[in-house]
Structure 1
Amino acid sequence: MSTQNIAAPRSPHLSHRKRRFNIEKWGWIYMRASGVLLVVLVFGHLFYNLIFPGKVSILDWAFVAGKLADPIWIVWDLLLLWLALIHGSNGMRTLINDYAHGRFRTLLLWALGATTVVLLVLGTLVLTTFDPCIGGTDNAEFAAICAAAQ
């Protein structure tokens, strides 16, 4: 009876498979990192919109227009949009992979990807091309600002 040496499963000479991009590993890392960032972004957003003004009734078109006139808040909201949408889509992708099979799984993944891309594009366009002076407003002070800006 001969004794054969069995190589360890991860020995370099057994690496006949090429290393591929591991989407599950990076998806897991993304969920943790984006979750931490989203907590900061969401609570900053809530603080600025609900606590900082002192009362909720101050939130109107002029408040949003003033907020989106500041590039810092545009970047803040863009980060919030992108991180939240991709975070949610990654979670849905995991659920689809766990519970759907065959062609239905493929259809759901494509629908999820298309929906995510459309929402990211539309949200980004709204945040980056926002012009508060289009259309009328009931706020006389805001209307005067728009008239002076033109």
Structure 2
Amino acid sequence: MTPVLQLLVVVAMLAVSVFGGWVLTSGVLRLAGRSSDAGTPDGGPGPGGAGDGSGGPAPDSVSDGPDGERARAALRGGTWIGVLERFAVTGLVLVGENEGVALVLAVKGLGRYPELRENPGASERFVIGTLASLLWAGIVGYAGRVLLFV
């Protein structure tokens, strides 16, 4: 394979990873927000709110699910972090440095730890979004390696 063709494959795989993963991750998070255990719009765990008899959310356990406004607010910048994550993971897989994916995950997890500890919906959003994003980036990266080394 010529160097120009290799460069085109790398650029194409990175673009597919970043933009395709954006669409996929957003869709997975929307589906997760519709699941029966995703929380309710008032922040409580079920139809009656917080489950403490008050009908309202309990302040320490509020969660409007992984696609709710509280989770989005707690994880501000998550869309762009996901874009960079997919770019890095796909790039690492393309060059055969699979171990580097662990470093990307460690940096992401440590950077988000305070928000994740305080907000259950944010934790759900983080885990679901990260898994969807990583799976997509890994699949695209491995597909690119197959194309590069045929």
Q: TM-score, normalised by structure 1?
A: 0.31
Q: TM-score, normalised by structure 2?
A: 0.31
Q: Which is bigger in relative contact order (C-alpha 8 A, separation at least 6)?
A: 2
**Structure whose alpha-carbon radius of gyration is higher:** 1
